[in-house]
Amino acid sequence: PTPLPTLSPTAKTGIMAYYYAFNTAKPPFDNPLVRQAFALALDRGALAALINARGDYEGATLFPATTFTPPYVLGRDLYGQVGLAYDPDRARELLAQAGYPGGAGLPAITFYVRDWKAHRAVAQATQSQWRDVLGAEVELTLVPLEEYGDVIHADDPQIRLEGWGADYIDPYNFLHDALCLREPIDVESDPYQSLREAIRNETDEEARHALYTEMSRLLCPSWQTQMHWDNAEYTALLDAAFNEPDPEVRRDLYVQAEHILCETDAVVIPLYWR
């Protein structure tokens, strides 16, 4: 396999995580068994290989994901160990337990994706996998790039494809900041750009942590998630990790949070990182 890059906390990066976000307030994804089934039905290795072969990301390599935080940010590769790896038999079992054997009885499901070449391709492959494994027919809605934010704010669909680019090299930026429900941020303006530059230039760990806090408040002024989901244990783990000085203890707390986010509650399906 291609070795994963290593990063310093002050690295200038184009790190991205791509994922499906469920709206847990809308059936059938108000049921965690259904969310788990849809995650288990996706072969992330095949999806990453498809997009890598297409070359849509200008030569960047995509790595399949079962957890949300890229391993070169978390400092540990959890692929296939934490989260819900491809397991079609288990996916069908869980969907049947939820009351939808073979997909029978599932309500209409709408899936929103930005209308861009790689997103369109992975969404269509995802549709096929969900149909083949679960018997689930999912309607794909392609939204023009410039309209996507307004469409999502007007009517949050049951599933949507999202991407998150790192603002700073810490798991908190993914597990907390990325998931907040927010108004669109002008990434070309101050204070966003000023904070990013300050973080990149700051070598003192304590001072950099203070800048992380400031950036997080800008990105996530209140803890309301895109998925209409809240879990007190998850929030407590993030708070503890963010304020923990021992890097190994911090990492273990973040791994516990990944278990909740991507496995037990399964409110997102990580697809791949680059």
Q: Which percentage of the chain shows pLDDT scores above 90?
A: 76
Q: Give tens-digit pLDDT for 94-109.
A: 999 999 999 999 999 9
State how far the Cα of 40 lies from the Cα of 19, in Å rounded to an integer: 14
Point out which residues pair with 22 in neighbouring strands.
159
pLDDT, residue 1, reads 42
Q: Per-residue pLDDT averaged across 66-86, rounded?
A: 93
Q: Which percentage of the chain shows pLDDT scores above 70?
A: 95
Whether residue 6 has pLDDT greater than 70: no
Q: What pLDDT band is residue 159 in, cutting at 50, 70 and 90?
A: very high
Burial class of residue 34, CB neighbours in 10 A (0-12, 13-18, 19+): buried
Q: Give tens-digit pLDDT for 181-237.
A: 877 777 778 889 999 999 989 989 899 999 999 999 999 988 889 899 999 999 999
Residue 247 has a CB neighbour count (10 Å cut-off) of 10
Torsion of CA 138, 143, 145, 150, to 10 degrees: -110
Point out which residues pair with 141 in neighbouring strands.
112
Q: Give tens-digit pLDDT for 123-143.
A: 999 999 999 999 999 999 999
Task: Give this prediction's pTM.
Answer: 0.93
Point out which residues pair with 268 in neighbouring strands.
21
Q: Which of 270, 4, 11, 56 is nearest to 166 (CA)?
A: 11
Inter-axis angle of helices 32-40 and 117-134, to 10 degrees?
A: 110
Whether residue 5 has pLDDT greater than 60: no
Q: What is the mean pLDDT of the chain?
A: 92
pLDDT, residue 150, reads 84
Q: Strand pairing of 268-273 and 63-64?
A: antiparallel
Q: Where are the alpha helices (DSSP H) in 61-157?
A: 71-74, 88-97, 117-134, 148-154
Q: What pLDDT band is residue 10 in, cutting at 50, 70 and 90?
A: low
